[in-house]
Chain A
Amino acid sequence: MLKLFRYLKPYWWQVGLLILATGGQTFATLQIPALMADIINNGIVKENTDYIWQQGLIMLGVAVISAGCALVSSYFSARVGANFSRDVRADIYRQVLNLNLADTKDYSTASLITRTTNDVNQVQQMIMMMLSVMLLAPMFCIFALVMAVQTAPDMSWIIAIGVAGIIISAIVILGITMPKFKIFQKLIDKITLLTRENLTGLKVIRAFDNEGLEKDKFDKTNNELMRLNIFLDKILKLEGPLVNIIFNGTTLLCSWVGISLLNKDFTYLGDMSAFAQYVAYVMMSFLMLSILFVMLPRANVCAGRIREVLNIKPKICWKVETEGVPDKQASIEFRKVDFRYPGAGEKVLDDISFKAQAGESVAFIGSTGSGKSTLINLVPRFYEATSGEILVNGINVRNYARDDLIRRIGVVPQKGVLFAGTVKSNIKFGAPKATDAQVEEAAKIAQADNFIRKLPDGYAAHIAQGGTNVSGGQKQRLSIARAICKNPDIFIFDDAFSALDMKTDARLRAALKPVTDEAVTLIVAQRVSTIKDADQIIVLNDGKIVGKGKHFDLLKKCKIYQAIVESQLSEAEFKKEMRRADG
């Protein structure tokens, strides 16, 4: 939490003003009871009307000053709080975008989102609380204490009793309830989990006619939650009446002690109510601090989660300018590339070497976990090869400036990801300068033109956040169009055709042919039919290349490839394929 305070640094003078104003406000507010006591002692008792008026005006002035200070401190606390959260949020956002897959792989997207939004809000609230309560409470406490002792030194021991009462009751109540709050949170989570299950499993639950079973499970947790809720509330609700007794009891004590001291000094008559007021302030500031202590751990957790993200050191450094002159002709080469996740023992990729020129296509196939996706992620440096070299157009990817490398590569991921905007803005995403004609051409090749034209606004049609208003297949085709529109040297299709039905898949691949003439195409696929025609098929198993060649070569030579093909075709078809391979 404290480490995030450095974000307040640019606003130091505002924080300074804030502290000054808070001090002024505290001081002024505390003068009022003293002035009131003064009016009673010197004005009313001595029947001096002028004095009452005079002091009344002073009181008014003090009240106005206090209000002015409060205004200033409110303004700056709102300003500093808002700016603080803006800066933290922007830093997290920048950090997340700049980090690579290798850096963020330990965090889920959902958790990163929570850190950027919820956690920042929590910390902001805490900072604002601190800027008001944390500053106000101790100042209040100290000023009030001084004033109280000054007003009636003989009665100061009452303060100790009142404060002790507040602290003890807070400790007892929190001591009993705090440990149970964890259980409470767990039950709440369980209710959410069960509700989620009931919603996501809707069809399965009904198909098995298990609504009753689910209800029983839910009821059990629901009742448990209710019982704990009652237990916690029973204790927490003690606080109000207890604090009431302590506050009023202290006032009573002040009156009694004040009266018994009257014989010594008659001024106690006015002083005792002022004193009671000060004691109340002291106790109130302790109460406020105790609330802060309840909130602090939660904000601290949030602050910790934010810092965790901010502290990630990017593992990949880019050159500012590309070193060397890349070939005009597209090409790619892997030279003895190894990859392992940082800290992991086993290699994910082991001794990968292959080469492809413009117009050629390389397909990767293998079971899940064979390393296909990791392999292609090394090309745009989403991950960094542990050893070996990857050359794009004859230059090592490490020697490229980031934008220079990225503009040469068109990636189509497994999941079609779209952004809020229009169809056009999505296709132009990687090529901001593309003309409308280029956009439409790309869409045509991606077999997307047809459905785009059917949309209400055609290419200007709105795409909802996350592309939820187009179907999975359409999303995939748009993201293919996006890659085509970039006119890259290297196409990467990461299982990009799986959301398409086989017919569209075939048509699309036919249309792609002329476009990929000048480029290298890397394809990861599950379906043999998708990659059959590739110039080079690389069969991966446990991160190693176990087969390299054309479809029929591999059918003859590579056992693993045979198994894959066999699993996807019927027996008769498989036999036919094998015959063709031999023939």
Chain B
Amino acid sequence: MGRNSGNSGVIGARVQTPQKQGRKGQKQKGQAWVAFKRFLTSIKKYRGWIIFSIILAIGSVALSIMIPKFLGDMTNIAVNTYPEIDFGSILGLVWLVLGLLVGSAALNYAQAYILTIVAAKYTRNLREQIIDKIARLPIAYFDKHKYGDTLSSMTNDVDIIAGSLSQEITDISLSLSTLVGAMVIMLSISVPLSLVAFIVVPMSVVVVGKIMNHAQKFFELRQNTLGVLNSVIEEDYAGQLIIKANSHERESLTDFKQTNQKLTNITRKAQFLSQLSMPITATFTNLSYIVVTVVGGMFTIQGQITIGALQAFIQYVSRFNRPITEIASATATIQGLLASTERIFQFLEQPEEAPDLEPARVVDDVKGAVEFHNVDFSYLPDKPVIRDFSVKVIPGMKVAIVGPTGAGKTTLINLLMRFYDPVSGYITIDGVPTMEMKRSDVRRLFGMVLQDTWLFSGTVEDNLRYGCQSASLEDIKRAAKMCNVHHVIEALPNTYHSVISEDSDNISAGEKQLITIARAMVANPPMMILDEATSNVDTRTERLIQDSLEKLTHGRTSFVIAHRLSTIRNSDLILVMRDGAVVEQGTHSELLKAGGFYAELYNSQFAEN
């Protein structure tokens, strides 16, 4: 171990690198190179600053690299002038070294400072790009991908980049220049001694590299096993009640123990191998000290070099040692960093929603006539979901969409809102094809109340204003009153300024539902899309909800995914869906008379025994 702390003040950071590199896994060489090039392109904007910081790093090293040499010179002067030591010259050197020290530290800090700002801006931009991308991706993307993956990119991957980007650039530029500098000076002191050192030191790198490669396999394995164990735990905890209800504890524990033991064995090996790198490096460092001291001692006796030069040389051996191991560990971290950037870039490259037609058509003063013209649609190319579906909805009509669970009722909603576009055929609003309108304009024509009561964390007032930013508090209160939720809000500690969120428990599920209804009321759109939710709401609240929905749909063209018989019977048109397709359409009595699927459905559900 050298006496020089090098550039990384935090030793602990090094200790953890094996885990980091294990987690990221090993990329194929070619892939890593592609990822690296992409990363370089993405950071192009800051190229000037990064180059400048590298120059500063080189400067910092250039200043400090001579310090051991001057310290050696001090010894030499002392030895040569002994016993009448020339303290004047030595003191001069002391000041020089001090100056170099401070200058080098200042440059070092300046380059770290620049990189800090670059890294912070870069990660901020990455976050911004991700959030923009989320807004521009088609809904289809999120139907196919778990949002946990996107969220993990935003948090874990960006954090990894934020945590290591500036550190790694600093480390590598400092290490490389130290390496070169030390080599030059060592050679200038003694070529044969340098050759001895150059042979011993890199051996440690080779050995450590081999071991780390091996360890990395175990770390990958460990990460996978940990994943398996995590999912076992997750599943069993979530299903705790079922395990208890079936006396399955023993079997579950046995299964768990098996995976737990497997993880333990792998962890043991991985940790051991990764911990080996420290003693091995230390041993090789010691070895190089010994060889240099012994061989150098001989040279000194033969008069080839001075004692001061030997002392300085020993210092350079440590300066030469450190950067090599540091570069080795930095490359591992960089692999992790590249894996993270790669995941982010892949997300950012996903095809976006097709751009809106230019110039888009605008429908003013919408009446609410909606028409499906021979619409074909499929989520997967070979599995048609809706075939040749046509329907004409006249303004003010109430359309009920009914069918068993999983029949694809939301598909119709997706098409109406242009979350998806038909494969062929088209939908018109007041005669204008929605495909020729801007997506945002189409969506603004509909108010949507879904089963999933999404509220963002913020005040009740802001949540209610969500669909119409210009609404006054009076408008909001009026809507809340109409939707029977005013008194609920008034009962909250800060009334309309109370903070609520998706999982807040200061209001019930039913009250959340009422708030989303009021939110749609504030937006006051010409048409409505509703998903009648019934579960988990007590009777009283359910009535309030029904009443509010009634008011909301009054006089508006509305599409309702209906569960309640009363809603279905009171609607002007019923679309019956089965296995993803619209199989029947008509009014209640028409459909009952037809004696088809609807009649069957109705009889099984509502008829008396």
In the complex, which range does the number of interface residues on chain A fall in? 35 or more
Q: List 11 A-B contacts (CB under 8 A).
A: A36-B289, A63-B287, A78-B272, A193-B457, A195-B154, A214-B135, A244-B9, A245-B101, A407-B247, A418-B239, A533-B609
Point out the residue from B94, B101, B286 that lies within 8 Å of A63, measured CB to CB: B286
B230-246 vs A, CB cutoff 8 Å, 1 = contact: the mask equals 11111111111111111
A177-216 vs B, CB cutoff 8 Å, 1 = contact: the mask equals 0000000000010011111111111111111111101110
List, in ascending order, chain B residues with CB within 8 A of A529's CB. 605-606
Closest to B546 in A: A567
Point out the residue from B113, B252, B286 that lies within 8 Å of A234, measured CB to CB: B113
Contact count A vs B, C-beta below 8 Å: 452
Q: Which of A422-471 contact B (CB under 8 A)?
A: 429-430, 432, 465-466, 471
**At the interface with chain B, which of A224-232, A324-332, A340-348, A386-394?**
A224-232
Is A291 a contact of B10 with CB atoms below 8 Å?
yes
CA distance A81 to B87 in the complex (A): 55
Is B253 a contact of A237 with CB atoms below 8 Å?
no
B274-306 vs A, CB cutoff 8 Å, 1 = contact: the mask equals 011011101100110110011001101100000
A12 touches B (CB below 8 Å) = no
Lowest 10 CB-CB distances: which A-B pairs, in order? A70-B279, A367-B538, A430-B246, A502-B605, A280-B3, A78-B271, A241-B105, A56-B294, A78-B272, A74-B275
Q: Which of B28-69 contact A (CB under 8 A)?
A: 64, 67
A357 touches B (CB below 8 Å) = no
Is B264 a contact of A82 with CB atoms below 8 Å?
yes
A487-514 vs B, CB cutoff 8 Å, 1 = contact: the mask equals 0000000000011111110110000000
If A262-B82, A411-B241 are given as contacts, then 6 extra A-B residue pairs at C-beta distance below 8 Å, sorted by A number, are A70-B282, A97-B252, A194-B131, A215-B132, A223-B124, A503-B605
Point out the residue from A129, A417, A432 that lies within 8 Å of B15, measured CB to CB: A129
A1 touches B (CB below 8 Å) = no
Is A240 a contact of B233 with CB atoms below 8 Å?
no
**Minimal beta-carbon separation of A540 from chain B (angstroms):** 12
**At the interface with chain A, which of B70-78, B364-372, B422-430, B477-485?**
B70-78
Is A570 a contact of B240 with CB atoms below 8 Å?
no
A234-262 vs B, CB cutoff 8 Å, 1 = contact: the mask equals 10011111111101110110011001101
Given A204-B454, A215-B135, A430-B248, do A466 and B82 touch, yes or no (CB 8 Å)?
no
CA distance A66 to B278 in the complex (A): 12
Closest to B82 in A: A262
CA distance A94 to B448 in the complex (A): 46
Point out the residue from A39, A109, A214, A486 that lies within 8 Å of B297, measured CB to CB: A39
Q: Which of B1-37 contact A (CB under 8 A)?
A: 1-12, 15
Is A237 a contact of B290 with CB atoms below 8 Å?
no
Is A201 a contact of B271 with CB atoms below 8 Å?
no
CA distance A97 to B252 in the complex (A): 9
**Minimal beta-carbon separation of A344 from chain B (angstroms):** 16
List, in ascending order, chain A residues with CB within 8 A of B448's CB. 203-204, 207
Is A233 a contact of B120 with CB atoms below 8 Å?
yes
Is B297 a contact of A52 with CB atoms below 8 Å?
yes
CA distance A413 to B243 in the complex (A): 12
B92-110 vs A, CB cutoff 8 Å, 1 = contact: the mask equals 0010011001101110110
**Minimal beta-carbon separation of B508 from chain A (angstroms):** 7
**Minimal beta-carbon separation of B570 from chain A (angstroms):** 8
CA distance A244 to B11 in the complex (A): 13
Is B253 a contact of A93 with CB atoms below 8 Å?
yes
B379 touches A (CB below 8 Å) = no
Point out the residue from A94, A191, A266 that lies within 8 Å of B154, measured CB to CB: A191
Is B237 a contact of A237 with CB atoms below 8 Å?
no
Is A237 a contact of B116 with CB atoms below 8 Å?
yes
Is B539 a contact of A198 with CB atoms below 8 Å?
no
Q: Which of B302-344 contact A (CB under 8 A)?
A: 307, 310-311, 314
Point out the residue from A78, A229, A410, A507 that lies within 8 Å of B120, measured CB to CB: A229
CA distance A128 to B270 in the complex (A): 13
B345 touches A (CB below 8 Å) = no
B417 touches A (CB below 8 Å) = yes
CA distance A518 to B364 in the complex (A): 67
A150 touches B (CB below 8 Å) = no
A149 touches B (CB below 8 Å) = no
List, in ascending order, chain B residues with CB within 8 A of A500's CB. 405
**Minimal beta-carbon separation of A503 from chain B (angstroms):** 4
Is A116 a contact of B454 with CB atoms below 8 Å?
no
Point out the residue from B3, B419, B538 that lies within 8 Å of A206, measured CB to CB: B419
Point out the residue from A40, A63, A406, A573 that lies within 8 Å of B307, measured CB to CB: A40
Is A429 a contact of B248 with CB atoms below 8 Å?
yes
Point out the residue from B102, B235, B300, B454 that lies within 8 Å of A245, measured CB to CB: B102
Is A380 a contact of B294 with CB atoms below 8 Å?
no
Is B535 a contact of A207 with CB atoms below 8 Å?
no
